[in-house]
Amino acid sequence: MVTSIFYGSISVPLYLFLSISLILGPKQALGFPISYLVPEKLYNSIFLHKDDSACPAKGFYTYSSFINAARSFPDFGKDGTISTRKKEVAAFLAQISHETTGGWATAPDGPYAWGLCFKEEVSAQSNYCDSTNKEWPCSPGKSYKGRGPIQISWNYNYGPAGKAIGFDGLTNPEVVANNSDIAFKTALWFWMTPQEPKPSCHAVMVGKYKPTPADLAANRTSGFGLVTNIINGGLECGKGDDNRVNDRIGYFKRYAEIFNVTTGPNLDCSNQKSF
C-alpha cells in the first residue's frame, strides 16, 4: 500500500499530498513550501559551523528566519521543475555562503562548510553612500556597508529593499544585522528583484532570462556565473581566473551535489563584462 510519494528526494505523506491536491489541484500541490526542499536537518547539515563560537553571526541565521523570509517571496524555489527549483535554492545558498563565509583552505570539514559565519562587513572601507543618487538619499552618519546573508550594500539597495520589505533602510540600515528575519528578506529581495539593466538572479536560475543585444555583446550568458555578475560583477567579473568567483563555484558544486542536481554550464564570469 502506497503511504507516501517522493517530492524530489523527500518523502511526503500521501494523505498530505492528496489533501493539497483536492484544494489546489495536482500540479499546484507540488508547490510545497520551501521547507520541503530544505528541511531543518538539511539546513543544519549545509551550514555546519554557522553557530560555532568562532563565527560572529553565531545564533543569528536561524532556520525559522530563513523559512519565514521565504514565505514573503512565494516564487522562490517554486518555479519550474523539481530539478530547477532545487538548483535555484542551491545557487542561492551558495551565493549567501560565499558572502558570509568564515572558511579557509584547511578549515574543518572543508572551506565550503562555513557559510553564514558573518552578518556584517568587517572593516568596511567606506560608508557605501552614493551621494549622486537622489531617489534614495543617504541619512547623515549612516553606513550602508554589507549586511545580512547577501551582504546588501549601498543606499540605492537599502532604500528600495526597506520599502519592499517594510523597514526604513535609509535611516535604520543596522536592523539588517540585528533582525534575522529582515536579514534573510533583504537577501531574497535582492535575489528575486530585477534592477535594470540587470535581470533577477531568480530569472537566470529558472531559465527565464532573455539576453538583450547588450548582454550578448558583453558575453553575459545564462548560468551561475551570470548570477555572480549580478551580485558583484564590477569587482569579480571579466578579470579572468578569480579566487572569489571560484569560492562561489565551490559552494555551488557542493550544494548541487547535496540536492542531487547538475550545476549547468557557465559557472564563472571570467569572460563577461559587468553590468
Where in the sequence numbering do the catalytic residues fall?
Answer: 99
Integer angstrom CA distances of residue 22 from 2, 32, 79, 231: 18, 14, 21, 40
Burial of 16 (0-12, 13-18, 19+ CB in 10 A): middle
Which neighbouring-strand residues pair with 12? 5
Work out whether the CA dihedral 148, 152, 154, 157 comes out positive or negative.
Answer: negative
| CA 167/CA 268 separation, integer angstroms | 34
Distance, CA of 201 to CA of 103 (rounded, Å):
24
| Cα angle 242, 243, 247; round to 5 | 120
Sign of the torsion formed by the C-alpha atoms of 156, 90, 9 and 206: positive
CB 212 within 8 A of CB 178: no
